[in-house]
Amino acid sequence: MKKFSIIAGCALIGLFGMGAAKKQVITVKGSDTIVILAQRWAESYMAAHPDVSVQVTGGGSGVGISALINGTTDICDASRPMKNSEIDKLKTRFNSLGVEIKCAKDGIALYLNESNPVNELSLDQLKAIYTGEITNWKDVGGKDEKIILYGRENSSGTYVYFRDVVLKGSDYAPATQTLPGTAAVVNAVSKDPNGIGYGGAAYAKGIKLAKVKKDAGSPAYEPNAETVKAGTYPISRYLYMYVRNKPTGAMKAYIDWTLSAEGQQIVSKVGYFPVN
Amino acid sequence: MSTFTGKHTIRVGEWVIETSIRAIAFVSLAFIVLIFVFVLREAAPLLIGKATDDSGAAVTLAKLFSSPFWMPVSNHPTYGIAALILGSLKVTLISLVVATPLSIGAALYTAVFAPRWTKEIIKPAIEILAGFPSVVIGFFALIVMASFFQHLFGLQYRLNALTGGAALALAVIPIIFTLTEDALTALPKQFTEASVALGARKWETALFVLLPAATPGVFAAVLLGFGRAFGETMIVLMATGNAALLSLGITGPVRTISATIGAEMAEVVFGDAHYNVLFFLGFLLFSVSFSLNVVAELFIRKRLMKRFTGAA
């Protein structure tokens, strides 16, 4: 119905040349990691194009992809690539493989409490910490205190990405406390002297970011524009937008704009990293 | 003639109103049945042993109850719901331990001791708490109560079963309080009069005469409070840390059935084993709250009536 009214609206505009007779609505749904960025994009774009309305909601990458498959959103934001099983579902519903657009780059930051003496961790140490092999901070050069693990809910793209890249596909320790949203993880770590959490670098307020090294002998890097862009920060990823079919009309204009110099400037402002 | 048609129209009008009211009553019944059927249908592949995970391994009820880990999004998914059931029970019991004495005490106070004007402030105030959005209570627990309890008891985990249970008690207190208060005020005046005439003090009357007489109502109130706590989602999702641990400790994080459904339902792939398991969890929640309500209802009706008609 919504699609139909958009088409009808376009047709009206085309026929009578009435200009902004009907607002075009683009719905965007998905990753909580991208939701801040998507909202900034939408605000700036709508300010310059009053005839277009961009509606942004979060919920998690899985939620966005489900919505794309169910036809309840136009654009899906995802912090992980679509799985084959999801692409298959999209294909059976809409006879399309979907279109993937890399719209920004993100470094997964490791959050530590500001009072924690530990400053850098290697990927191996992180794996051992999050799988429950190392449970005390003194084993990684900190105080003799139990490590309190915080993470995201399993509907989050960050959950899957961190598991695949840092834990090499192993499961999280059962004691990992999962919280709804990156902001809640940051809040928990900021109040817990022995806490560790992970999430987008853009959220990091009131905590410190651990420097991460590829292995014990290599230099440690903080997630910032240069290290993520150059790929020296070991935990970085692309952020994606997915659409069902090759975008046309208002959608194409919007997506092109997000990838333009202006759109990518907003990416940097929000705390993520431009794609090119 | 004209009077006859008048009566006739009244009858038709009555019939229409009666039928529509009856229809509305049955529609609400139909909703309950339909929801139950829907939840059961979505869990069906699991119940008849047809559910398989991504690797093709069968997911059976026996595995659900025997596996110690809840790791549904994994390369080797395990759906151990024992930890979730234990988590729900733990948080619910903690909330009842906190809420029951407080709300029964408050109910005794307002029903027996309080002067009229105090009662007229306290009762509505506690009842407003019942309508308080649970997400706000959860938020309060996450930011304020968690830190408070951690410092008070020197806990290792900031978010834990104790904090979650205490926050949940805020949602349970109004239910137990209101129903207990109603049960106490519904007692015949003769109870108090006889007791006082025999020389009992006011507090003796309250504790040894009124409270025992209202036991069925109080019991039903606690049962309904249990149902409320068991099904509550937002408070536990925010305040308990959501780690599915199979342990009996109350100072560690827990993951409850309702929080699991709340956090994972939106993301799950339709028709997947994970999806079936979540609906099975929904079925469990539904069954628990349904049977609690039935028991509470029967208890009030049968026992209370018997007592007052003198059969007991």
Q: Does B80 touch chain A (CB under 8 A)?
A: no
Q: Cβ B264–A153 below 8 Å, yes or no?
A: yes
Does A62 reach chain B within 8 Å, measured CB to CB? yes
The interface residues of chain A toward chain B in range 196-215, judged by CB-CB distance below 8 A, are none
* A window 144-163, beta carbon within 8 A of B: 146, 148, 153-155, 159-160, 163
Q: Would the pLDDT of B285 be above 70? A: yes
Q: B81: which 2 tokens?
A: 């719901």
Looking at per-residue confidence, does B42 or A157 come out higher? B42
pLDDT digit string, tens, across residues A207-236 = 999 999 988 888 899 888 788 878 888 888
Q: Where are the extended beta strands (E) located within chain B? A: 70-71, 78-79
Residue A189: pLDDT band with limits 50, 70, 90: very high
Judged by average pLDDT, the poorest of A237-251, B55-69, B115-129, B240-254 is: B55-69
What pLDDT was estimated at residue B13? 86
Which of B158, B246, B247, B278 should we substitute to test contact with A (largest number of A Cβ atoms within 10 Å)? B158
Q: Is pLDDT above 60 for B311?
A: no
The residue that leads in pLDDT, A19 or B217, is B217
**Domains defined for chain A, CATH in brackets:** 2-105+239-270 (3.40.190.10), 106-236 (3.40.190.10)
pLDDT digit string, tens, across residues B87-111? 999 999 999 999 999 999 999 999 9
pLDDT tier for residue B11 given thresholds of 50, 70 and 90? confident
Q: Is the pLDDT of residue A147 over 90?
A: yes
**pLDDT tens, residue by residue, A117-134:** 999 999 999 999 999 999
Average pLDDT over residues A59-87: 89
- Give pLDDT, residue B303: 67
**A257 pLDDT above the threshold of 90:** yes
Token pair recorded at residue A226: 């240069």
Contact of A276 with chain B, judged by CB distance below 8 Å, is answered with: no
Q: Do A180 and B157 touch (CB under 8 A)?
A: no
Q: Are A148 and A194 in contact (CB under 8 A)?
A: yes
Asked if pLDDT for residue B250 goes beyond 50, the answer is yes
- Within 168-197 of B, beta carbons closer than 8 Å to A belong to none
Which residues on B lie below 8 Å from A153 (Cβ)? 242, 263-264
In the predicted structure, residue B10 carries a pLDDT above the cut 90: no
Interchain CB contact of B241 with A (< 8 Å)? yes
Cβ–Cβ contact A22 with B under 8 A? no
**β pairing state of A99-112 and A195-200:** antiparallel
> Given 1.10.10.10, 3.20.20.60, 1.10.3720.10, 2.40.50.100, which CATH number is that of B78-309?
1.10.3720.10
Nearest CB to A148: which of B69, B143, B157?
B157
Q: How much of chain B, in percent, has pLDDT values that exceed 70?
A: 92
Q: If you average pLDDT over every residue of chain A, what do you get?
A: 86
pLDDT at A19: 44
Q: Judging by beta carbons within 10 Å of its beta carbon (0-12, 13-18, 19+), is residue B265 exposed, middle or buried?
A: middle
Range with the largest mean pLDDT of B98-102, B224-228, B297-301? B98-102
- The arithmetic mean of pLDDT across residues B257-282, rounded, is 87
Q: Is the pLDDT of residue B151 over 80?
A: yes
Alpha-helix residue ranges (DSSP H) falling in A84-205? 84-94, 123-131, 157-165, 182-191
Residue A6 neighbours by CB under 8 Å, 6+ apart: A24, A25
Report CB contact under 8 Å: A178, B156: no
d(CA B235, CA B164) in angstroms, rounded, equals: 7
Subunit contact A177:B157, Cβ cutoff 8 A: yes
Q: Which of A59, A146, A171 sits opposite B71 (nearest CB)?
A: A171
Top pLDDT among A137 and A201 is at A137
**The pair of three-digit structure tokens given for residue B162, joined into one six-digit string:** 């104790």
- Say which residues have a Cβ less than 8 Å from residue B65's Cβ, sequence separation at least 6: B80, B81, B82
Is the pLDDT at A5 greater than 60? The verdict is no
Q: How far apart are CA B296 and CA B294, in angstroms?
A: 5
Backbone φ and ψ for B42, nearest 5 degrees, come out as -70, -25
Confidence at residue A100, expressed as pLDDT on a 0 to 100 scale: 92
Domain spans of chain B, in order of start:
2-48, 78-309
Helix B273-299 crosses helix B2-47 at what angle (to 10 degrees)?
A: 130
Of residues B76, B159, B267, nearest to A62 (C-beta): B267
Phi-psi region of B27 (alpha: psi -120 to 50; beta: other; left: phi over 0): alpha
